[in-house]
Amino acid sequence: MEPYRLSLTEASHMIWGGILTPTRLAESLLDRVERLEPVVEAWVTVDREAVLEAADAATMEAEEGQFRSPLHGVPYGVKDIFYTRGLRTTMGSTLYSGFFPDRDAAVVKALRDAGAVVLGKTETTEFALHDPAPTRNPWNTGHTPGGSSSGSAAAVSCGMAPMALGSQTGGSVVRPASYCGVVGFKPTYGLLSRDGVYPLSWSLDHVGYMTRTVEDAALTLSTLKPDAAPAVESEDSPRVGLLSGYFKENASDDVWLGYEQAVGKLWGEGAEFIDVELPPSFGMAPSVHRVIMAVEAAAVHEDGLRANPEGYREYIKGFVSSGLLAPATAYLRAQRIRDVILRDVLSSMDGFDCLACPSTVDTAPRGLEWTGSPAFNAPWSLTGLPTVTVPSGISEDELPLGLQLVGRPHRDHDLLEAAAWCEEALGFMEGPMDPYTP
Amino acid sequence: MSGDGEKEYIQMVKETAEAMWGPEAADTFGEHIERTAAAVYAVSNYPLEPGVEPVTRFNPGET
């Protein structure tokens, strides 16, 4: 088997077992990137020489029996808003087309210290907001891969990387992961450091990542946060609170049918599902999220927009301008309502291992003009609760569907445990795919 | 503000935008301005007890 096909966990085991060298794995992934990139356009920067140099160093350490972590010698992608020392970091903006940071983002440094190898920088929408990257969805190259972590999701989906970092302010990890048929994990707010990640909205921004299996997501979390609370050991199938209401009202027919089929399958495998009514305050989530994000994004970009208005594309200009017009009292009020929503949602989670809902409103939209709606993800970015999307099936239009699970704050491993159970029960575990162009 | 209707509030924000940036920019950004103003209006009219504090250091699940 070509090494690029390996999951992160499989690659890790083979490197530790001396069956695979980091250099061989990196070569396989670089060849895969070279072959698929003209079609998928997932990468902003790949420095082949630097990748092989880092992989060679990891190989030498492994030959001497020195393994820094389970991710030793494993290459991964980095969304292009994460600072990478000496490697161009553009934020998806022409304003930063020549920016070479002199330091790593905290999470990149942690992975570097763990022996992982930066494979390259992945495409993002402009400043991780809306204006799209050129990336195509490997499942159908006429469709968006989602965003803002567009390149990370596409790269993992088609075997160009076993793991890639992303960020989520609205739905920028879970949505593209679901659109591309991979696992997307957004940990509890603040669990992974945002240091060195270009901000969009400080109190909503989360660091997360994509993998092809839940096991890979758990291994990555254990490496990045060894002190995160471990999963409570249980032989039981998960007790899941089923969400409808807002989600049923806004889901496409395809998505809702797929969700019901996935739930039916999990129920058949022994999961316990109980309908949960969303608290009335949840209805305020979209407005509260909008106010906070617009105001914080305005604060981030106010100076830049004033100094270089021609350097910004239209959407972000308009969004930032709208935030500049919001009263301070409205921002504070939104932050107060946010606390009410969080408390109410936590109350409705009582007695459940997690909540479940579809990962996205629809399947990946046709065209590359926009990256889809974050409406099913933004409430969880607002509440900071950990979420994970697990591929759950294929729609009538031959695009992936995802099941989104929502966990309790700081019980991220518990959430991944429930997700692993669902992943196995759903039995939807595709290997890396070759891009399909109709 | 709670006495104003949503439409009147959005119109007021649009007029403010026009005064600040001119009619062309206000028109170009019109959809964003309307959507954010509608969200502001909704948030401003949501009843809250005075004791509910704003989240200033967000750390979900901790009180």
* B2, pLDDT greater than 60: no
A79: annotated active-site residue: yes
Averaged over A95-108, what is the pLDDT?
A: 98
Which residues of chain A does B46 touch, with a Cβ-Cβ cutoff of 8 Å? 284, 333, 337
Question: Which tokens sit at A356?
Answer: 């479940």
> What's the rounded mean pLDDT across residues A242-253?
97
Residue A390 in any domain: the answer is no
pLDDT (0 to 100) of residue A365: 98
* pLDDT one-digit tens code per residue, B3-62: 579 999 999 999 999 999 999 999 999 999 999 999 999 999 999 999 998 886 678 876
Q: Which residues contact A179 (CB under 8 A, 6 or more apart)?
A: A137, A139, A143, A144, A145, A146, A153, A360, A363, A364, A372, A399, A400
- pLDDT, tens digit (0-9, with 9 covering 90-100), for A108-143: 999 999 999 999 999 999 999 999 999 999 999 999
Could you tell me if A298 and A430 are in contact, meaning their C-beta atoms sit under 8 angstroms apart? no
Omega before A347 cis (within 30°)?
Answer: no
Averaged pLDDT for residues A403-425: 96
β-pairing, A239-243 with A354-358? parallel
Asked, as a colleague might, if the bond just before A234 is cis with ω within 30 of 0, I would say: no
DSSP per-residue codes, A75-111:
EEEEETTB-BTTB---TTSGGGTT---SS--HHHHHH
Strand-pairing partners, residue A43, are A122
- State whether A322 and B58 contact (CB < 8 Å): no
Q: Identify the domain containing residue A7 by its residue range.
A: 3-224
pTM for this model (two decimals): 0.97
- The minimal CB distance from B39 to the residues A287, A315, A385 is found for A287
> What's the pLDDT tens digit per position in A260-291?
999 999 999 999 999 999 999 999 999 999 99
A291 vs B contacts (CB less than 8 Å): 36, 39-40, 43
For A45, the 3-state DSSP assignment is strand
Q: Which amino acid is at A316?
A: I
Residue A117 within a domain: yes
With a cut of 70, say whether residue A206 has pLDDT above it: yes
Residue of B16, B36, B53, B57 to mutate when probing chain A, most A C-beta within 10 A: B36
The pLDDT value recorded for residue B57 is 66
In a domain, A12, yes or no: yes
Mean predicted lDDT score pLDDT of chain A: 96
From A79-93, A171-185, A222-236, A292-306, the region with the lowest mean pLDDT: A222-236
Average pLDDT over residues A293-307: 97
* Inter-chain CB proximity A287 and B42 less than 8 Å: yes
Cβ within 8 Å of A, B 19-58:
20-21, 25, 28-29, 31-33, 35-40, 42-44, 46, 48, 52-56, 58
- At B1, list the tokens: 């503000």
Residue A148 falls in the annotated catalytic set: yes
H or E element that contains A289:
helix A285-307
Which domain CATH number covers A173? 3.90.1300.10
Name the H helices within chain B: 6-21, 23-28, 30-44
Tokens of A298: 């305005």
Of B33, B40, B58, the CB nearest to A330: B40
Cβ neighbors of B32 (< 8 A, separation 6 or more) are: A294, A315, A318, A319, A321, A322
Q: Report pLDDT digits (tens) over A232-246.
A: 877 778 899 999 999
pLDDT at B56: 67
Is residue A204 scored above 80 in pLDDT?
yes
Q: Show residues of chain A in contact with B18, CB under 8 Å.
A: none
When divided into structural domains, chain A yields a total of 1
User: Residue range A21-29: average pLDDT?
Assistant: 98
**CA distance linking residue A146 with residue A155, whole number of Å:** 12
Structure confidence at residue B1 (pLDDT): 47
Residue A350 belongs to some domain of the structure: no
CA distance A56 to A368: 37
Cα–Cα distance, B33 to B20 (Å, whole number): 13
Average pLDDT over residues A317-334: 97
